[in-house]
Amino acid sequence: MKETVFVNTIRVDSRIFAVSLFFIGFSAIVLNAQEVGFRASSEKSKIRMGEPVVITVEGRLPAEVDTVGPIAKDSLGLFQVLNISRDDGEPVWRLEVMTIDTGTVFLPPISFGYVVKGDTTLRKAYANSLMFSVEGIAVPPDADLREIKPPKSAPWKWEDIWPYLLGLVVLGGGYYVYRRYLHKPVVDVVESAPRPSVPPHVSALRELRILEEKKLWQQGKVKEYYSEATEIVRRFFEGRWDIRALEMTTDEITTALNGKTEVSTMRSKVRDFFVRADMVKFAKSQPSTEEHLQELEQATEIVRGMIPPPPPVGSEAHSQMTAGKGRNRMEGGRTKPHGARKAIPKK
């Protein structure tokens, strides 16, 4: 009796184990089908040097993917990107590229960025790489190659000389008129000292207010609105942190800001600000009205959050700032500041 119960228990456990394996395998298949994937292909594998070739990238996108697009670059390895387009309504992109290298040339994996619904995190996926055989410009073996001949000298003619003589006469006459009638003695005048330069955050906040008054996105100019907003913040980063932000991608900017104390609490806000703009400019995303307003608010918060603290009292920077304020007050009153002398014509 005990042996029968033991055998039945083994059979039941075997069935449970088989059913569990079935559901685990089915779940793995479903999860794999929901993954984002891209496949790159080309109709040509042999091209000539400098010949444009079209790379077709087909995407496999689950329903939860909101916006997606290639992370635009000017070049891919040894290939130069000439144009990027997308088929209407289909996850298919076409990249026109060319190279001036010869031999076996590899096109590296093309990176794509996408955002899942309900999450602003920019995720990445890559298409496969491609290999091309690039041929150079062939020179026929029986070509008649000759040495370069030196240029031949031509005799001077009157038609070649008279324009230069006429130009000298006009220049001489103009100089005489200037010295005789227009040239006047100069007197020394006092020139005010130069105004202190405007801090980067002051310029950025002023430009953001001007951008808000333009009402670009209300007029349907969404791409221009996001481009100007990101350019203002990039210029602020260049003035504030001395980095070449106008030439950097979003990832390069966040990397360059690492280690700066004022940025540590705003790193995610800076990334979200640039990611949203990248989706509009490169993936043709259509943000809502709240996202339009949030983009400008985030730009203002980023600039205000990175305003440098005032210099300590008694330091050289504090003295220069105090002197600058004093000059501004003097210019507003009747007292004229002393400065460099400048020569102007006497009437």
pLDDT digits (tens, 9 = 90+) for 303-347: 998 888 876 766 565 555 555 555 544 444 444 444 444 444 444
Render pLDDT for 121-165 as a digit per residue (tens, 0 to 9). Answer: 889 999 999 999 999 877 777 767 677 888 887 777 777 788 888
Distance CA 94, CA 109 (A): 14
Distance CA 87, CA 85 (A): 7
Mean pLDDT over each residue of the chain, to the nearest integer: 78
What pLDDT was estimated at residue 313? 64
Higher pLDDT, 301 or 21: 301
Q: Which residues contact 190 (CB under 8 A, 6 or more apart)?
A: 336, 338, 339, 341
Three-class SS state of 188 = strand
Distance CA 201, CA 236 (A): 6
Higher pLDDT, 175 or 187: 175
234 and 245 Cβ atoms separated by less than 8 Å: yes
Q: Which CATH architecture has domain 37-135?
A: Sandwich (2.60)
Intervals of CATH 2.60.40.1930 along the chain: 37-135
Render pLDDT for 15-66 as a digit per residue (tens, 0 to 9). Answer: 554 444 444 444 433 333 368 899 999 999 999 999 999 999 999 988 888 7
Residue 131's beta-bridge partner residues?
A: 106
What pLDDT was estimated at residue 228? 93
pTM of this prediction exceeds 0.85: no
Distance CA 162, CA 168 (A): 10
